[in-house]
């Protein structure tokens, strides 16, 4: 329980969203009118909230699926990258300094190519495919004015 406000101040409004019914996403119900009790200075009165449209409900589902897909792709790519990343060549007494420098240069070149290939795949799959679709859908759903 929250402490009571000091004398002379009103308690902040509390908005409760019931979680039942068929008009929300899954079990989420958004009522037509949310009544916030209170009067005097700073009182809100009644706030009218329209329930989400069919497109808004499925847009949220699509965005959640796309976000989960992006997260899954990122996790799989990171695991694969760390698992297949080669260790630098070991320096032994029989290897000369010049030969070891050449081996390190080749290792660096191979590591850069491996990393760049992953950057390209991530860029193609996520940045150029999924994010523009999600942005387009969100702009359509939540950027248009309702009549």
Q: What is the pTM of this model?
A: 0.51
138 and 83 in one domain? yes
Do residues 79 and 32 share a domain? Answer: no
Provide the strand spans (E) within 7-140. Answer: 33-36, 45-48
73 plus 138 within the same structural domain: yes
Asked whether the beta carbons of 104 and 89 are under 8 A apart, the reply is: yes
| Residue 25 within a domain | yes
Per the structure, the complete domain to which residue 27 belongs is given by: 15-51
Do the beta carbons of residue 46 and residue 35 sit within 8 Å?
Answer: yes
Both 120 and 75 in one domain: the answer is: yes
State phi, psi for 49 to the nearest 5 degrees: -120, 125
Is it the case that residue 105 has pLDDT exceeding 90? yes
Examine the domain organization and report whether 44 and 62 are in the same domain: no
* Each residue's pLDDT tens digit, 31-77: 555 555 555 555 555 556 677 778 778 888 888 888 898 889 889 88
pLDDT at residue 19, rounded to an integer: 47
CA 88 to chain centre: 35
> What value does the mean pLDDT of the chain take?
74
Tokens 């795949």, located at residue: 121
Domain count, the chain: 2
Q: What is the pLDDT of residue 93?
A: 86
Establish if 8 belongs to a structural domain. no
């Amino acid at each position: 329980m929250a402490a009571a406000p000091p004398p002379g101040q009103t308690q902040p409004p509390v908005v409760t969203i019931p979680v039942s019914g068929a008009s929300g996403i899954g079990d989420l119900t958004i009522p037509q009118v949310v009544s916030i009790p209170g009067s005097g200075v700073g009182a809100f009165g009644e706030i009218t909230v329209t329930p989400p449209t069919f497109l808004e409900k499925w847009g949220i589902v699509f965005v959640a699926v796309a976000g989960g897909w992006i997260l899954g792709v990122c996790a799989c790519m990171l695991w694969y990258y760390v698992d297949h990343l080669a260790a630098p060549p070991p320096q032994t007494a029989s290897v000369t300094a010049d030969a070891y420098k050449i081996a390190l240069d080749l290792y660096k070149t191979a590591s850069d190519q491996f990393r760049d290939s992953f950057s390209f795949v991530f860029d193609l799959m996520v940045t150029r495919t999924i994010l523009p679709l999600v942005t387009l859908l969100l702009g359509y759903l939540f950027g248009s004015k309702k009549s």
